[in-house]
Amino acid sequence: MDRTRLTLVSLVLALALFLALNLFTSVGLRGLRTDLTEGGLYTLSDGTRSTLAKLEEPVDLTLYWSETLTSEENPMLHQYARRVRELLEEYEANSGGNLRLVVVEPLAFSEEEDDALAAGLQGPPIDNAGNRLFMGLVARNSVDATETIPFLDPSREAFLEYDLTRALTRLGEQGLPTVGVISSLPLAGGAPAAPGQQPAPAWAIWEFLSQTVEMRDLGSGATEVPAEVDVLLVVHPKELSEETLYAIDQFALAGGRLMVFVDPFAIFDDSAAGPMGMGGDRSSNLERLFGAWGLEMAGAQIVGDLESADAAQGNDGRPVRCPIVMRLEGDSLNGEDLATRGLAAVMSFGAGDLRLRDDAPLTGSPLLTTSASGGGLVDASLLQFGFDPGQIADSFLPDGTQRTIAMRLSGEAPSAFPAGPPGLAEGEAVPAEHLAASAETFNAIVFSDVDLLHEYLWARRRQMLGMTFIEPVNSNGSLVTNAVDNLTGSSDLISLRTRQEQRRPFTLKDELERAADERFRSRYEEYNAQLQATEQRIAELQKPSADGSLVFSEDQQAELDTLFGERDQLRKDLRKVRYDLNADIDGLGQRLQLLNVLVLPGLVLVVGLVLVLGRGNRRKAA
């Protein structure tokens, strides 16, 4: 056999081997998966694998995805939805058979659309034809308990794995943890400022936490903490009564988890603003309780850090790197603690300096700190009559001391009320239920900055498809959510890494899908116009007469029956158009797959043959 023929046979055998290998791997190795994406897009974190291993019963996952509409109206959203589906398939593959994924496209006027709406999914209408855009998830276990993600917001792509695993965790727990809030700030929203005005909206952190827990406003004058509260948030505690302080004290000593936010000068405490927004007391502390815990915070000084200083607008309009406006990242975040591990950056504004006394009964672990070389203090009086970042920057001097802005406390603590609850009459016996010291391990996280909760520092409200979403721009919201999850014991959720966002649209495929859509659009619009006209005529015939009766003549009833039949047929025709469009787009996908599997290798083979034959001809000519 000459060399040319041998080469041709080798190329044909190589092509056959390539096709056979593709067929074998697609069938025989379907269960084997390797994630080669940048950032490990489909690699599940240890926390997710642990959650999946703890599933004790089958869970059905139903992804309601308007695949056709997203491809038409928002190709970027379409690509994101594909990644959601593929990640859910990875969940299913790693669940040991306990997860069953079904993807449903809820078309207009279909039973699937009714099911999606009944499940609580957000399906905003996108046109006058009744089409709704769905991209939500429903998880249901064997006893019909459900967890719902109403809309998988692309702005939360970095938190996608967290949101999915959280839904499975909540399903297993049969209910959300309860977070009670005692605050002098209107975190849950406030009453209208004047008659006829809209109520003040809830803070973004309240809405953000409400996605994962049940939030309960206990008021600033609460005298007891309900037994069902899992975590108590004490935010900007100003002038709390002795009874409220006692309730907090006893809750923590009984093993309740506590998160406290105090501040030497809360910039966003509008309730303290005097004339022209200046003056007033904006500080908060828990000195009585802190004293029993061995914790101190100087109320007249504010922490700054030259190395973490972020830009603020000066009085002349130019940006100024202000040391008390800190972007804490890297070594300023405790990489070993579950609340702060994996966070990118936390913004802080006018924080205090937390210190644990040498004789403190509790153990303290810093969560947020300044750098040692750039840290220092400024007097809070500089903010009393307005914020001038230039003045603060000029007066700030680092002192070479690392300052602590947030701290975790644990151990055994005495009560701040050793003589019993306040209000006991002289000689009255101390109630038997009074705790003089910790009955269970004391657990608390204390922040010396209330302003880090305000959305100005960490979030933006964004409108999409008629809905409002809270879009985090840094890790403040994740820090608080992580801390709450950790205090409720959900350590698997804390261990989840933040995924990088993927924005790589396949523009050629999008163009092909749009071309396919155009071939059906005219027919779809024709049917839709007929449907609208039919429904309008039905509405006109069904209007009550002048005396309010709904009695129809025989002709009217006959026309109604005909119109009802036409309406049902038009709906079927609309669904048929949608089906044809989907089939055509699926055919495009199959042709692309064929192009990748057969045509491109075939082109390689042809090029190889041309090169071999050309070389053979040149040799003969020589």
Q: What is the 3-state secondary structure (H, E, C) of 556-583?
A: HHHHHHHHHHHHHHHHHHHHHHHHHHHH
pLDDT of residue 524: 63
Give me the helix-helix angle, 160-173 and 46-53, nearest 10°: 30
Distances (CA, A) of 348 to 369, 430, 457, 608: 11, 43, 8, 63
Please report the beta strands in 241-289, taking only residues with DSSP state E, as ranges in sequence order.
Answer: 257-261
How many whole angstroms separate alpha carbon 476 and alpha carbon 343? Answer: 9
Query: 306: closest CA among 424, 223, 393?
Result: 393
CB 250, CB 418: distance < 8 Å: no
The fraction of the chain above a pLDDT of 90, given in percent, is 45
**Three-class DSSP category at 302:** strand
Mean pLDDT is highest, among 47-56, 297-306, 409-418, 590-599, for 409-418
Q: Which two tokens stand for residue 82?
A: 């594909």
Mean pLDDT of all residues in 453-469: 83
Taking residues 454-474, report their average pLDDT: 84
Average pLDDT, integer, range 552-566: 75
Does residue 351 contact residue 449 with C-beta atoms inside 8 Å? Answer: yes
DSSP code of 280? S
DSSP H or E segment with residue 355: strand 354-356
Is-contact 155 469, C-beta < 8 A?
yes
Q: What is the mean pLDDT of residues 197-208?
A: 88
Please count the residues of the chain.
622
- As given in the structure block, the two tokens for residue 461 are 């409200």
Q: Rounded to an integer, what distance in angstroms lies between the CA atom of residue 168 and that of residue 560?
A: 48
pLDDT of 277 > 50? The answer is: no
Predicted confidence at residue 564, as pLDDT, reads: 78
Examine the pLDDT at 206 and tell me if it is beyond 80.
yes
The answer to whether 180 and 216 are in contact (CB under 8 A) is yes
Residue 313 has pLDDT above 50, yes or no: yes
Read off the pLDDT of residues 320-331 as tens digits, 9 standing for 90 and up: 899 999 999 999
Query: Which range, of 108-112, 426-430, 443-447, 583-587, averages the lowest pLDDT?
Result: 583-587
Contact 616, 4 (CB under 8 A): yes
Question: Residue 200: pLDDT above 50?
Answer: yes
Structure tokens at 568: 């049902």
Is 509:592 a contact under the CB 8 Å cutoff? yes
The residue-averaged pLDDT of 464-480 equals 84
Report the candidate in 329, 342, 338, 324 with the shortest Cα–Cα distance to residue 368.
329
Report the alpha-carbon distance of residue 611 to residue 497 in Å, rounded: 50
Query: What pTM was computed for the model?
Result: 0.62
Q: With CA atoms as reference, report the closest residue to 142 among 59, 54, 56, 52.
A: 59
pLDDT digits (tens, 9 = 90+) for 114-146: 999 999 898 888 877 778 999 999 999 988 888
Report how far residue 30's alpha carbon sits from residue 210's, in angstroms, rounded to the nearest whole number: 39
Distance CA 88, CA 73 (A): 23
* DSSP string for residues in 1-25: --HHHHHHHHHHHHHHHHHHHHHHH
What was the pLDDT predicted at 451?
A: 97
Report whether pLDDT(380) > 80.
yes
For residue 73, the one-letter residue type is E
Round to whole Å and give the CA distance between 163 and 500.
14
Average pLDDT over residues 152-158: 81
